[in-house]
Amino acid sequence: MSLIKKNFDYKWVILIICFFMEFLCLGFCSSNVGLYTAAVTEALNIKRSLYSLTTSIRYIVQVIVALYFGTLINRFGVKKMVCVGLLALLGSVLARGFATKFYHLYIGGALWGVGIVFVGGNMAGLIVRRWFHQDIGKYTGIVMSANGIGGAIAAQIISPIINNGETFGYRKAYFLSAIITFAIGVVIMIFLK
């Protein structure tokens, strides 16, 4: 009886990595931004409209950076740009966690926009298309489902921390998000090819 060696196809690892990119970027770092609104505006004594500009800045930066997405990927490669995106997400979460003035939040918003471009849906979709040649829509859909899953899990973890009655309790939630971003980011960078 002969042993048949089955080769492991690394594309399944890539699919999991892309799933965690979405889980982190859109689910954990983006979907629950509304949970912070009341806590941050009350603690920093700023208007909600000033706080909401953080998200507007994120979108403006995201659009501008996305215009150069292909050029940057071609010049530096996927892995380096994912690393830039992860560092931007980490910087964004830390900037918002340490913020003492509204403009600190805007710096976090700008970094957030960069991070979403290089870790979010565009990048994950590109990676899936490079590794999968059939059923691309199905695998992209699996990856994109991480947005909802990450958001649901993050809400259960972060909401109690934000709403614990402390004036600056939201900072602990941001710092926990930073730890999670760092940990998942390290795993992504180790296994991403």
Q: What is the pLDDT tens value at each position of the chain, 193 positions in all? A: 444 556 789 999 999 999 999 999 998 899 999 999 999 999 999 999 999 999 999 999 999 999 999 999 999 999 999 999 999 999 999 999 999 999 999 999 999 999 999 999 999 999 999 999 999 999 999 999 999 999 999 999 999 999 888 889 999 999 999 999 999 999 999 999 9
* Within-domain flag for 27: yes
Give the pLDDT score at 1.
44
Give the number of domains in the chain. Answer: 1
Taking the C-alpha atoms of residue 128 and residue 110, their distance in angstroms, rounded to an integer, is 26
* Within-domain flag for 126: yes
Which domain, by its residues, includes 126? 11-191
* Within-domain flag for 148: yes
Core vs surface per residue 82-116: b (16+ CB within 10 A) or e = bbbbbbbbbbbbbbbbebeebebbbbbbbbbbbbb
* Within-domain flag for 62: yes
* Within-domain flag for 163: yes
pTM: 0.93
* Within-domain flag for 113: yes
* Within-domain flag for 4: no
* Within-domain flag for 140: yes
What CATH code is carried by the domain that includes residue 121? 1.20.1250.20
